[in-house]
């Protein structure tokens, strides 16, 4: 089993996602379970980007990926990143973001998903995403982490190709047990926020930032349940007064 996460900008504006778009996506996501996904959800809403994630058996990864893209296409306010998908590497453009990570068969499917959004496609966002991947890789309690973001054309199983121009990356890390969620998420967010001009936002927050900045949302996807990690981490990082 693995987690797959697909992120896309299909919003009608450049800073946020409408409640109508969110409602329509959430209404269609149960289709993924009907097609064989163990659990599926709209895990992240980051500025004008949405991320649909699903826990799937290896043999149906391509089918579920195609279905996720179909849901995004059917409900899009603007084709946005969907226009960059191509059947050939030569035709690929700026497209959807993709992450997958393995899950051990004897574990509940638990994962942390980070979603990044930029206003102007700031190139350093890939370095920010990669710093979170490196922070999680090899940690106790981590089963697997999605692959690093590289400047190359990428093939997404069951969907097609997207080019190196694809921005707004998604990162997924699968977790061995619930007790590790806080430790691993803390390390990943610490790595992200240690970069210049990076801001943690709540799920659904608009990207009201000065251009040249990056926002990140963090979600725990625990056996199908969504927890927005921004709220507890906001409380944990408050400086206690003496």
For residue 120, the model assigns a pLDDT of 81
Residue 108 has pLDDT above 90, yes or no: no
For residue 207, the model assigns a pLDDT of 87
Going by C-alpha positions, the residue among 187, 232, 219 that lies closest to residue 53 is 219
Instruction: Report the range of poorest mean pLDDT among 87-101, 172-186, 225-239.
Output: 225-239
Q: How confident is the model at residue 173 (pLDDT cuts 50, 70, 90)?
A: very high
Domain boundaries, the chain: 2-236
For residue 107, the model assigns a pLDDT of 82
For residue 51, the model assigns a pLDDT of 98
For residue 55, the model assigns a pLDDT of 97
Q: How confident is the model at residue 239 (pLDDT cuts 50, 70, 90)?
A: confident
- Averaged pLDDT of the chain: 95
Residue 72 has pLDDT above 80, yes or no: yes
Going by C-alpha positions, the residue among 111, 116, 113, 142 that lies closest to residue 128 is 116
Name the CA radius of gyration of the chain, rounded. 17
Residue 106 has pLDDT above 90, yes or no: no
Alpha-carbon separation of residue 6 from 53, 69, 127, 161, 189 (angstroms): 6, 8, 19, 13, 20
Residue 101 has pLDDT above 90, yes or no: yes
Residue 242 has pLDDT above 90, yes or no: no
For residue 135, the model assigns a pLDDT of 98
Beta strands 170-175 and 110-118: pairing type? antiparallel
Mean pLDDT across the stretch 204-212?
89
Q: What percent of the chain stands above pLDDT 90?
A: 87
Residue 25 has pLDDT above 90, yes or no: yes
For residue 22, the model assigns a pLDDT of 97
């Amino acid at each position: 089993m693995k987690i797959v996460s697909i992120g896309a900008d299909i919003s009608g504006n450049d800073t946020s996602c409408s409640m109508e778009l969110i409602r329509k996506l959430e209404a269609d996501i149960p289709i993924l379970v009907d097609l064989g996904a163990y659990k599926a959800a709209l895990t992240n809403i980051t500025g004008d980007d949405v991320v649909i994630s699903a826990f799937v058996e290896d043999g149906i990864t391509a089918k579920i990926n195609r279905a996720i893209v179909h849901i995004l296409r059917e409900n899009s306010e603007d084709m946005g990143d969907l226009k960059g998908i191509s059947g050939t590497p030569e035709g690929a453009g700026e497209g959807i973001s993709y992450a997958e990570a393995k899950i051990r068969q004897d574990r509940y499917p638990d994962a942390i998903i980070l979603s990044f959004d930029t206003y102007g496609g700031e190139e350093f966002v890939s370095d920010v995403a990669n710093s979170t991947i490196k922070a999680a890789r090899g940690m106790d309690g981590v089963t697997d982490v999605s692959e690093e973001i590289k400047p190359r054309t990428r093939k997404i199983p069951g969907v097609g190709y997207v080019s190196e121009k694809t921005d707004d990356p998604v990162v997924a890390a699968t977790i061995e047990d619930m007790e590790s969620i806080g430790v691993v998420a803390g390390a990943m967010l610490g790595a992200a926020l240690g970069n210049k001009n990076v801001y943690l936002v709540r799920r659904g927050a608009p990207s009201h930032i000065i251009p040249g900045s990056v926002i990140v949302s963090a979600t725990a996807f625990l056996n199908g349940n969504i927890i927005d990690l921004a709220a507890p981490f906001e409380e944990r990082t408050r400086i206690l007064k003496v």
